[in-house]
Structure 1
Amino acid sequence: MNTKQTIRSQEQRTAWILLLPAMLLLLFVFGYPIVRAFWLSFFTQNLGTKLQPVFCGFSNYLRMVGDGRFWESLRTTTVFTLSTVLLELLLGLGIALVLNKQFFGRGGVRTIAILPWALPTALIGIAWAWIFNDQFGVVNDILLRLGLIQTGINWLGEPTLAMIAVIVADVWKTTPFISILLLAGLQSISPDLYEAHLMDGATPWQSFYQITLPLLSPQILIATLFRFAQSFGVFDLISVMTGGGPGGATEVVSLYIYSTVMRYLDFGYGAALVVVTFLLLITAVAIASLLLKKFSVKRIY
């Protein structure tokens, strides 16, 4: 073994030693709850009557197959996740392109743009619930003044409108996060590439399609996967705005799990719901990652 290989081996050993405490902490914080939930999903438990856990095998999972409320909440979660991620990605990319330009007061605008992401989600939920209030909300007031409606719309009382309302609130809050991530990627692209492409006769759209998108694909991948996982597990925003209503129209999986565990004290079934949701999320993220990577490779080559 030569000197370079020895030095590299020592550096790798040192890196693993330094990473070990953090890896152990992550294993304890994330690994233990997952294992605990998986173990608990094979038992029935009712603390309300102080009964000891009873092993029930896969009965909790079999019960899930016929649980219409679970499948409906999963459908709602899917609609919410796909809608918010797509809108946030498109709007975030547009905002990032604007913030990447040179203009007066750009630093202040960038600071203001990130404020919605920095605000507490529960506070945002309360604010948007008042904005969409059917009697005192700003949205109805604007529409009435413009003469577009004659009476106030019950935004949070109609299933479709309630879903639209929570999607709008989530997009408003989390789009700045996407834009900041993509802005960092845009600033890493050399302006010389655009100048050379312009000299070759390329249009701005061609530069965007042939330079910006391929070189920005790593940041797009990270932002999409992060927001996909976060949107799939949304809880606080919908809990504050609608509580899952009306009639379960906005009840996502996380709200259903919370209700199962905290309201009905059905810990075994709640744990089974957690395990299945976790596996579905991991599968969806893996598929999305593969598709986005294939798209990135095609765009680069």
Structure 2
Amino acid sequence: MTEQPSTGTRQATRAVRLSERAWGYLLASPAFLLVGLVAVAPIAAALWLSLHRRLPVFGVEEFVGAWNYLQLWSDDRFWAACRTTLYFTVLSVATELLLGFGLALLLDGLTNGAGKSPRWAQVMIVVPWAIPTVVSAQIWAWLYQPDYGLLNYLLHRVNLITAPIDWLADPDWAIHAAVVMDVWKTAPFAALLLLAGLKTIPRDLYAAARVDGAGAWQQFRHITLPLLMPVVVIVLVFRTMDAVRVFDAVYVLTGGGPGNSTETLSIYAYKTLFQTLQFGYGSALATAMFLIVAALSSLYLLLLRRHLQEAT
């Protein structure tokens, strides 16, 4: 018969495990404290402030509960900012994903015998992403300039336009100008992640598929896309989070104008907080944006988990 451990032995083992866990928490406590100070504390402060009506200019500060959030439902400007943010997010993220896929497949096709893409190609892809967003936005503002901008000059030279277009002053063009700038800036990020995912796919699968008579489209549909889906979801999560809370790219280009045609949720919250000094309502706007980002991220991760479960 196998000798059963005594009660004292089990208690000693449990005590050792508890002490190891306590020691682990102790070692991790500086990191927990730092995260709490940097992330949790500002979020808690914003939530608390969103429950107040605070106008320092007029000396107004009172607790209003959920009144600020109820005001969002009847705020036409809030819903207009939501529509602008949604349009910007869908258009930019979809374009970045498609363009990033194309760039990743192109770089993967240039792979040499050692399994590496040419360094010059990788550098060219990374350059737009490495430029700070504010600098990129200012560069594109110069390109869009109606009188001496390069874009109008090139379009005029090839006879696509007869008169200069003020891209950033036209409500129909301004949001699309911001999307183009954002795609140019961040498509390389998607391309690099997708390229890394492509490198993990065994080449033997493609060789076996070619032997079975599968064409390029069939290989992409049945091998590349399914195996790359987790990376695609990661790209969508990161890019959607960035696009929903976009601020600097659009603000430098248009300031939210002309009118409010390019005013995203971040810009509206910024103007409410720091231009009209409505700290309570501005905090409610920021909290609403945070909840939207959290909901979209949770949805993407749920889809990824379901895909992985179906794959296994």
Relative to the length of structure 2, the TM-score reads 0.87
Cα 1:60/1:109, change in 2 over 3 Å: same
Say whether the 8 Å CA contact 1:260–1:267 is kept in structure 2. Answer: yes
Taking structure 1 as reference, are residues 10 and 193 closer, same or farther at Cα in structure 2, changes over 3 Å only?
Answer: farther
SS of 1:212's equivalent?
helix
User: Which AA in structure 2 matches 1:272?
Assistant: A
Q: Which amino acid aligns with 1:27?
A: G
Do residues 68 (structure 1) and 80 (structure 2) align?
Answer: no
Q: CA RMSD in A?
A: 2.4
Shift of the 213–60 alpha-carbon distance from structure 1 to 2, 3 Å rule, reads same
Structure with bigger gyration radius: 2
Q: Quick one: structure 1 residues 102 and 149, their matched pair in 2 at CA, closer, same or farther if it must change by over 3 Å?
A: closer
Shift of residue 197, structure 1, vs aligned partner: 1.7
CA shift for structure 1 position 88: 0.4
- Structure 2 counterpart of 1:224: 236
For residues 11 and 57 of structure 1, do their structure 2 counterparts lie closer, same or farther at Cα, with a shift above 3 Å needed? closer
Partner of 1:82: 90
Is 1:249 the counterpart of 2:261? The answer is: yes
**In structure 1, what is the equivalent of residue 6 of structure 2?**
none
Seen in structure 2, the aligned counterparts of structure 1 residues 112 and 26 have a Cα distance that, compared at 3 Å, is same
Q: How many angstroms does 1:139 deviate by?
A: 1.2
Q: Cα–Cα, structure 1 residues 137 and 10, in superposed 2: closer, same or farther, change >3 Å?
A: farther
Do 1:217 and 1:296's aligned partners in 2 also have CA atoms closer than 8 Å?
no
**Structure 1 unaligned runs (5+)?**
none
CA distance in 2, matches of 1:203, 1:11: 56
Give the letter aligned to residue 160 of structure 1: D
**Are the structure 2 counterparts of residues 187 and 166 from structure 1 closer, same or farther at C-alpha, using a change threshold of 3 Å?**
same
Aligned counterpart for 1:48 among listed residues 53, 57, 61: 57
Equivalent of 1:39 in 20, 27, 48? 48
Residue identity matched to 1:21: P
Equivalent in 191, 211, 221 of residue 203 of structure 2? 191
Percent identity over the alignment is 41
Contact preservation (8 Å) 1:221, 1:293 = no
How far apart in 2 are the matches of 1:214 and 1:191? Answer: 15
**Cα separation, 1, equivalents of 2:52 and 2:263:** 26
The AA in structure 2 aligned to 1:226 is F
Alignment counterpart, residue 166 of structure 1, candidates 154, 168, 178: 178
Aligned residues of 2:245 and 2:289 also touching (Cα < 8 A): no
Q: Is the 8 Å Cα contact of residues 238 and 250 (structure 1) preserved in structure 2? A: yes
Q: CA deviation at 1:214?
A: 1.3
CA deviation after TM superposition for structure 1 residue 77, in Å: 0.4
Q: Deviations over 1:208-255 (max 9, x none)?
A: 111111111111111110010011111001111000001111000100
Bigger drift between 6-15 and 25-34 goes to 6-15
Structure 2 residues without counterparts, runs of 5 or longer: 1-9
> Structure 1 CA distance, aligned partners of 2:38 and 2:93?
27
Paired with 1:181 and 1:17, the residues of 2 have a C-alpha distance of: 35
Match of 1:28 in 2: 37
Q: For 2:109, what is the secondary structure of its paired residue?
A: coil
Q: 1:188, 1:10 → 2: CA distance?
A: 41
In 1, Cα distance between equivalents of 2:222 and 2:30: 43
- The separation in 2 between residues aligned to 1:128 and 1:114, in whole angstroms, is 18
Aligned residues: 296
C-alpha distance after superposition, 1:98-151 (max 9, x if no partner) = 111236881111012111111011111111011111111111111111111110
Q: State the Cα distance separating 1:207 from its structure 2 match.
A: 1.2
1:111 to 2:123 alignment: yes
Report which stretch shifted further, 251-260 or 96-105. Answer: 96-105
Q: Distance in 1 between matches of 2:270 and 2:22?
A: 43
1:228–1:56 Cα change, 3 Å: same
Q: Deviations over 1:13-56 (max 9, x none)?
A: 7766654433332232111111111111111112223x262111
Alpha carbons of structure 1 residues 291 and 160: separation in structure 2 relative to 1, 3 Å:
farther
How far apart, CA to CA, are the structure 2 residues paired with 1:13 and 1:112? 49
Contact 2:53 2:280 in 1 (8 A): yes
**Cα 1:184–1:251, aligned 2, differ >3 Å: closer, same or farther?**
same
Deviations 1:153-205 (CA, angstroms, capped at 9, x unpaired):
11111111001100000000000001011111111111111112211221121
